[in-house]
Chains A and B, each alone.
Chain A
Amino acid sequence: MQNLELIFFIAFAIIAIYSAIMMVTRRNPISSALFLILNFFAVSGVYLLLKAQFIAIIQVLVYMGAIMVLFLFVIMLLNLHDENKLSESITYRKITAVLLSILLMGLLFVTFFFGFMGKKSEIHETAGTIGKAEFLGKELFLKYAFPVEIAGLLLLAAVVGAVVLAKKKFE
């Protein structure tokens, strides 16, 4: 069983990395979006291996089923089919992008080689219960009641923002 998990993990990891690379290198925005969906799929598989079922399903429901739909929609609505529009060359943007990626690489390097030093990479035995909706519900609505309400406010702001921005952009 342990071996099977490892095989699945490696498969999902390879799919995730491959699709991430394909996503940034495709010229056609729709292909990029599809590879991003594949990437989310692989990531939700990894969540499942970590026994985080709820988060895995949220990944499918929200990221794949909702946010990517919006992405595809926007690509279609704004007529981004013409790939030349996307490949404007702005020098300072490129430089910033390179600098930021180097920083990110450094951060990842530090975390991987110093953060996990001497730590076991085992899933905690309670992980199975933590991933369930019952546990999440209790935690969210007893311990973190206030943050949940704040999240509600955040969502309210998002609705208002969406409505206002849409008015501005399109009219």
Chain B
Amino acid sequence: MFSDYGQIFVFMLVAIAFVLVAFISAIILSPRKPNISKDATYECGEDTVGDTWLRFNFRFYVVALIFIIFDVEIIFLFPWAVVFKELGMFAFLEMVVFLFILILGFVYAWAKGDLVWDKPSPIIPKLDRQIFKAD
């Protein structure tokens, strides 16, 4: 078992080494001529205005919260799925109850409209008169 996780540790080291080798070779091979326009924040040629850190729509935050709760639920599901065949009906019903409880919460969030995102309401320009009249 230790060798398995040791192997994974080696995978991590190799990945980091790969990136570092790429970075170092790039640093050695590349020119170094910084100038103000090059190092400026890229906003399609315009100067940046104001602070970058703006407040975001709270829905992003609610989604992250609901995600954590579902993530915890998934942690219960994995060991259950492994022993599910051995334990049979009892474990199955148990998980049905467990999921039912969580689905209640899911339904609540759904009903409260936290899963609904603002849909765009585009203003489609209307023309009063036609410039090119169809004959």
A, B assembled together: yes
Q: Which residues of A pack against B, CB within 8 Å?
A: 1, 5, 48, 51, 53-54, 58, 61-62, 65-67, 69-70, 73-74, 76-79, 81, 128, 133-134, 136-138, 140-142, 145, 148-149, 151-153, 155-156, 158-160, 162-163, 166-167, 169-170
Q: Which residue of B65, B71, B87 has the most chain A CB atoms within 10 A of its CB atom?
A: B65
A48 to B6, CA, bound (A): 10
Flag the segment in B16-24, B74-82, B121-129 that touches A: B74-82
In the complex formed, the residue of A with least CB distance to B8 is: A48
In the complex formed, the residue of A with least CB distance to B54 is: A79
A138 and B62 contact, Cβ closer than 8 Å, known pairs A77-B55, A162-B69: no
In the complex formed, the residue of B with least CB distance to A49 is: B2
Closest beta carbon of chain B to A18's beta carbon, Å: 18
Which residues of B have CB within 8 Å of A166?
58, 61-62, 65, 114
- Over the window 59-72 of chain B, the binary record of Cβ atoms lying under 8 Å from chain A Cβ atoms (1 yes, 0 no) is 01110111111011
Interface size bucket, B side? Answer: 35 or more
Complex contact B65–A70 (CB within 8 A):
yes
SS class of chain A's interface: helix, strand, loop or mixed?
Answer: helix
B132 in the interface (beta carbon within 8 A): no
Complex contact A67–B68 (CB within 8 A):
yes
A69 to B66, CA, bound (A): 13
Which residues of A have CB within 8 Å of B106?
159
Which residues of B have CB within 8 Å of A74?
61
Complex contact A155–B53 (CB within 8 A):
no
Q: Which residue of A128, A149, A163 has the most chain B CB atoms within 10 A of its CB atom?
A: A163
Complex contact A156–B75 (CB within 8 A):
no
Which residues of A have CB within 8 Å of B73?
152, 155
